Amino acid sequence: MPIPAPARDSDRSGPAAITPGAGRWNRTSADGCARLHAAACSILERTGVRVDHPEARRLLAAAGARVDEADRVRIPAELVAEALAVAPKALTLHDRTGRPAIEWGGETAWFGPGSDCPSIIDGRTGDRRLATLDDVRAGIALVDALPNMAFAMSMFLPSDVDGRVADRHQAVAMLTGTTKPLIVVTYEMAGLRDVLAMAEAVAGGAGELAARPSVAWYINVTRGLLLDADAVDRLLFLAERGLPALWIPVTSGGTTGPVTLAGTLAVNHAGVLAGLVIAQLVREGAPVVVPGFGGDALDLRTTVDPYVGPDPKGAAEALAHHLGLPMFSLGGGADSKVVDGQAAAEAAAAILLDALAAGQVTHDSGYLESGLAGSLAQLAICDELVGWTRAATAPLDLSDEALALDLVDELGPDGSFLEADHTLAHYRSRWYPTLLDRRSRGAWAAAGGHPLGTRAADRVDAILAGRSIPPPLPEAASAELREIVARAEARAGL
């Protein structure tokens, strides 16, 4: 009996998630995590953080923090403990239809792209150019079709729309171009209000979005010990409404924090805890997602901030797991300038480690050039690597059917299993690649002998040419999105 072609990842049903079957990898022990957390609490009490937001300072002072004339706030460990006791340990992100899509918390890892790369790299030629709004739309369409990308971000920063309203245009592309959950970056408070109004229009109202959130909001904070006014303003706004806020301070070893990994982690974690405290003072139980990455340092030979340095991998993830907090991790990016062996190797190593560390929701698949550029071909390669990692870390099936002892006994030492009905029934349980080539050299050469980057670019073209379009939004929602963008452009004088 001829065996039909094996199923590829795109033919499979089930969640695009990874749960390590043999248990999570811990970069450091529980004692090590406790020491890091204690160090961060000591920084908050002894050194404090500067909070450039009067209302946040008032809340902290009323709760027992000490605020000095330089707006430096020293937060007692008791406040941190109280915030940790009431902060949610998990949340659910829904798709556009309201169905649960990502269970954010625990031992599972989900992967997706990043946002706001200013440039795009051609997977075939390596040519680099500024990204456009059409590139944003193409990236969203690709994410919607790729089976192992669980959520969408804008991936690119469009150069052909005014930067003052670019986040609104990116949001429209995401809200209309995929049904997958979204993680949104806005550039200031007005943008957050506008994009929230868009998300509410798509969800059917503010109550519907709050009950079944399909969007989480990325807040990039200046540095661990400096909580800038705009970031805090957005945190307060989201906490009041009970919407998921990704509170992501960034501390760079040797520049804005100690050059040592532990010192950088402690400083950054202090900023994470300060934001967590503020959010819980606004609304007890406000959902806050903490970084599952951090501890980076500039490469002091090049002054480039590496995206896939091995030093910090798993450290912040272990700390977030230790505290039981939902986390947002970073993996799948590359420091390579083109889609090449370095890009694939860096992405593969990062994806595997983030999956083993159960980084929960992990962004930046498809990034190149340390976050300055992205590639749709690289995103397709990352999708393949996530599928490979998912298969490599899956729990073993040790059922009677899988062990097949009766079949082994029936066929014995000299039997052929190729013709067995059991083989036909179960061969799809093995992983088969979409892009990674397993053909003989002759078959590969006869098909053109293309390298991985070219094959990935071909797959992108095929997906974008033949993909199924997500169901359109109701006309009332589409009209509301257009009106919100028009009002934002009018306020900007465009």
pLDDT classification of 17: cutoffs 50, 70, 90: confident
pLDDT tens-digit map of 274-295:
999 999 999 999 999 999 999 9
Q: Could you tell me if residue 413 is inside a domain?
A: no
Measured CA to CA, the distance from residue 259 to residue 241 in angstroms comes to 38
Is the pLDDT at 232 greater than 50? The verdict is yes
Is the pLDDT at 4 greater than 80? The verdict is no
Predicted pLDDT at 211: 95
Q: Could you tell me if residue 425 is inside a domain?
A: no
The CA-based dihedral angle spanning residues 221, 36, 290, 276, taken in that order and rounded to the nearest 10 degrees = -80
Is the pLDDT at 9 greater than 80? The verdict is no
Measured CA to CA, the distance from residue 113 to residue 125 in angstroms comes to 22
Predicted pLDDT at 22: 84
> Which residues are registered as beta bridge partners of 217?
184, 245
* CATH number of the domain bearing residue 486: 3.20.20.480
The answer to whether the CB of 184 falls within 8 A of the CB of 176 is no
Q: Could you tell me if residue 401 is inside a domain?
A: no
Q: Could you tell me if residue 402 is inside a domain?
A: no
The answer to whether the CB of 111 falls within 8 A of the CB of 292 is no
Predicted pLDDT at 293: 94
Measured at the CA of 43, the angle between CA 39 and CA 47, to 5 degrees, comes to 160
Q: Which two tokens stand for residue 267?
A: 């400083």
Q: Mean pLDDT, to the nearest integer, of 169-182?
A: 97
Query: Higher confidence at residue 212 or residue 222?
Result: 212
Predicted pLDDT at 466: 87
Q: Which two tokens stand for residue 62?
A: 């009323």
Q: By residue range, what is the domain housing residue 383?
A: 1-395+437-494
**DSSP per position, 379-412:** HHHHHHHHHHHHHHHSPP--SHHHH-HHHHHHHT
pLDDT classification of 21: cutoffs 50, 70, 90: confident
Q: Could you tell me if residue 316 is inside a domain?
A: yes
CA end-to-end distance (rounded Å), the chain:
66
pLDDT classification of 90: cutoffs 50, 70, 90: very high
pLDDT tens-digit map of 293-310:
999 998 889 988 888 999
DSSP H/E element including 353 = helix 341-356
**pTM, rounded to two decimals:** 0.94
Q: Could you tell me if residue 406 is inside a domain?
A: no
Q: Could you tell me if residue 419 is inside a domain?
A: no
Q: Mean pLDDT, to the nearest integer, of 84-94?
A: 97
Is the pLDDT at 6 greater than 60? The verdict is no
Give the count of domains, the chain.
1
Is the pLDDT at 2 greater than 70? The verdict is no
Closest CA to 378 of 407, 411, 351, 398: 351
Q: Which two tokens stand for residue 176?
A: 């209309």
Q: Mean pLDDT, to the nearest integer, of 407-412?
A: 97
Q: Could you tell me if residue 368 is inside a domain?
A: yes
Predicted pLDDT at 245: 98
Neighbours of 234 (CB within 10 A): 23
Could you tell me which residues come within 8 angstroms of residue 416 by beta carbon, excluding any fewer than 6 positions away? none
pLDDT classification of 5: cutoffs 50, 70, 90: very low
pLDDT tens-digit map of 97-147:
999 999 999 999 999 999 999 999 998 899 999 999 999 999 999 999 999
Predicted pLDDT at 15: 53
